[in-house]
Structure 1
Amino acid sequence: LALLHQEEAYGGEIVDRLAAFPGLAISAGTAYPLLSRLKRSGLIASVWRESPVGPPRKYYRLTADGEESFADLARAWNGMKNDMDQLLGTDVAP
């Protein structure tokens, strides 16, 4: 949801962006079922667009419910992060 909160993207682009974060990297075989589940739950929508190279691509974007869900998750994450920072001390190196 965080990637689609920033801007819409097609599946391969989402996989490529997540690859920049080793702890979050997923395969296309994992990404597409997740995107399908998010779409069925109403958190994302999709539209087909022509590609400058190759076949058309399905672009995904957050719906209003998806934006709300992302905001809720971000608040929860920030609360947990703040609690962990206090528990571990902000100067603790990994």
Structure 2
Amino acid sequence: MKADAVRGHLDGLLLAVLEPGPLHGYAIITAVQDRSAGALQLRTGTIYPALNRLERLGLLRSTWESLGERRRRCYELTDAGRRALAEERTAWRAFTTAIGSVLDAGPAPRPAT
């Protein structure tokens, strides 16, 4: 799948994979990949700026976890993030319905002669 396919939908993807609970960055990348059956492969250079932006907007909060001597940042949805995810889903359904009605339409009617 083209990398451009994610453009404009990254926020919704990140919010959706965080809906069940907190995840660290690599787990977010893996969750998107798993949920898309490998079709979507996000890079760390793509998701971390997006996660930071979503946190600045108040849609996510993060905490630091220690795993042995390693520290990793875990992200989770805020209430505002849950509302934003619901809005993203509504917008996505409207978008796919509109695009589907064009792409899946039968032949255009011929003008009357």
TM-score over 0.5 for the pair: yes
Larger radius of gyration: 2
Gap regions ≥5 residues in structure 2: 1-14, 106-113
The structural deviation recorded for 1:18 is: 2.4
1:25 to 38, 41, 57: 41
Q: TM-score, normalised by structure 2?
A: 0.67
2:80 aligned with 1:55, yes or no? no
The alignment-based identity, stated in percent, is 30
Alignment RMSD (CA, Å): 2.1
1:14 to 24, 28, 43: 28
**RCO higher in structure (CA 8 A, sep ≥6):** 1
Task: Report Cα offsets for 1:34-79 as digits up to 9, x if no partner.
Answer: 111111111100011222x550221100111111111001011112
| Matched AA of 2:52 | S
How many residue pairs get aligned? The number is 89
Partner Cα separation in structure 2 for residue 62 and residue 4 of structure 1? 6
The structural deviation recorded for 1:23 is: 4.7
What is residue 40 of structure 1 aligned with on the other side? 56
Distance 1:25 1:7, change over 3 A: same
What is residue 3 of structure 1 aligned with on the other side? 17
Q: TM-score, normalised by structure 1?
A: 0.78
Partner Cα separation in structure 2 for residue 38 and residue 2 of structure 1? 13
Query: After TM superposition, which residue ranges in structure 1, 4 or more long, deviate above 6 angstroms?
Result: none
